[in-house]
Amino acid sequence: MYYAYSSFGVNTSGIALLTNKTLNQQSPDFHWVDEGPVLKSRAEDDFNAIDPNLILDEKGRAWLSFGSFWSGIKMRKLDRKTGKLSSDDTKVYSLASRYRPEHYDPAKPGLPPDYQAIEAPFIVRHGDYYYLFVSYDLCCRGTKSTYHTLVGRSKEVTGPYLDAAGKNMSEGGATPEERLTLAFRLVTARQPRPGELKILVDGFRDHLTRYRKDPEASLLLVRAGEAPIEPKLGTEELAAYSAMAGLILNLDETVTRE
């Protein structure tokens, strides 16, 4: 069992290993042994060694994904015999990160900036793919929490993991430009022209600015209709995308079924 130790808002952290011969608490062999540190991160590192997740690939090789804020989700190969880091593959693989927006709120004292909020990786293998689940945005703020889960998939356990728009999650996932391009292409069967894409992106940013100033308006929009909305979603961003989706769906050339 891998566990992490750290302090809030810093990346001077570590991941360590506990082992046990059995999970049967009635067995005389039931006893947890602390095998010590596996991986550490220091203040000068661009990653945070917490939130460990173990995955075995199709060949039985062990890998450890981890990360929170900073430059995102990382991975290291493990030695199956010791459970510690592998000596034959010392590469730090980058699996997912957040893109840096043009404008963002300055970091609060002693904390990383909010736009870096990605953490808690979990990888499962299903069929021919590995699926990487990560948590985006901010938790632990009551009704103001914006925590939600995103997923990407890859043929290889080390990536690249692609999101629904086909964007490599290690490059920040889909940007607004890419998401709006995908939406436009899905409903018109063609790529948007540069001028059209600029109108969509500018419109999205205008709506996002408006909804961030008036969160109640974003809630009114995303709660419209019969489908329930998960309250922990980032409603301001969701409302801005919803507004742009409405625009795209009302274009004269939108492909619809009568």
Please give the Cα distance from 49 to 14 (Å, whole number): 5
Nearest in space to 8 (alpha carbons), one of 148, 101, 100, 108:
108
CATH number at residue 39: 2.115.10.20
Burial class (CB in 10 A: 0-12, 13-18, 19+), 112: middle
Same domain, 136 and 43: yes
Same domain, 156 and 185: no
Q: 3-state DSSP call for residue 183? A: helix
Same domain, 164 and 197: no
Percent of the chain exceeding pLDDT 70 equals 93
Same domain, 16 and 103: yes
Beta-sheet strands, E only, within 162-253: none
Boundary of a domain, candidates 147, 171, 195: 171
Radius of gyration (Cα) for the chain, nearest Å? 21
Q: What is the pLDDT of residue 118?
A: 93
pLDDT in tens, 188-201: 988 888 899 999 99
Boundary of a domain, candidates 129, 152, 171: 171
Same domain, 202 and 145: no
Same domain, 220 and 238: yes
Same domain, 112 and 163: yes
Q: Check residue 240 and report its DSSP letter.
A: H
Boundary of a domain, candidates 135, 151, 171: 171
Same domain, 222 and 120: no
Same domain, 101 and 45: yes
- Number of folded domains in the chain? 2
CB within 8 A of 183, min separation 6: which ones?
Answer: 244, 245, 248
Q: Assign 171 a pLDDT band (cuts: 50, 70, 90).
A: confident
Domain holding 204, by residue range, is 175-258
Same domain, 154 and 69: yes
DSSP codes, 32-63:
-EEEEEEEEE-TTSSS---S-EEEE-TTS-EE
Structure-model confidence comparison of residues 20 and 163, the more confident one: 20
